[in-house]
Amino acid sequence: MILDVRRICAFADYFVIAAGTSRRHVQALAQHLEEALGAAGIEPLGREGVEEGNWILLDYNEVIIHLFLPPFREFYDLEGLWAEAPRMTAEEYLAGASPAPGGPA
């Protein structure tokens, strides 16, 4: 899920929110993203939670990636906290679609 927070957030344009099935899976997702983006010359400004693997945050300035274990995603409910943010899937974003209004996707 991608939240378009440009109009309601001063520190980012988009939040990317995803979940893995285990700590190792969440860590592998983060590692893959860092390697792929690094190969394109894009380095994170910061990273948090990599060792624990419950909630990993990768800060790419305009885009902040949140990778969760499902119970942590449900507990922190970023989609609910940022409910007014338009949302889209990665496929819609890559296709250039306009984000849907806030609310469940």
Give me the CATH number covering residue 44: 3.30.460.10
User: Quick check: is 72 in a domain?
Assistant: yes
68 and 26 Cβ atoms separated by less than 8 Å: yes
Angle formed at CA 74 by CA 70 and CA 77, multiple of 5 degrees: 130
**Cα angle 78, 37, 40; round to 5:** 150
What the block records as the tokens of 16 is: 């990317």
Q: Which domain holds residue 88?
A: 2-94
Q: Is 24 domain-assigned?
A: yes
Res. 102 pLDDT band, cuts 50 70 90: low
Global pTM reads 0.87
What's the rounded mean pLDDT across residues 10-34?
Answer: 97
34 in a domain, yes or no?
A: yes
pLDDT tens-digit map of 49-70: 999 999 999 999 999 999 999 9
Instruction: Round to whole Å and give the CA distance between 99 and 89.
Output: 9
Backbone angles phi, psi at 87, to 5 degrees: -135, 155
How many distinct structural domains can be found in the chain? 1
Within a domain: residue 103? no
- Do the domain assignments include residue 13? yes
Q: Within a domain: residue 104? A: no
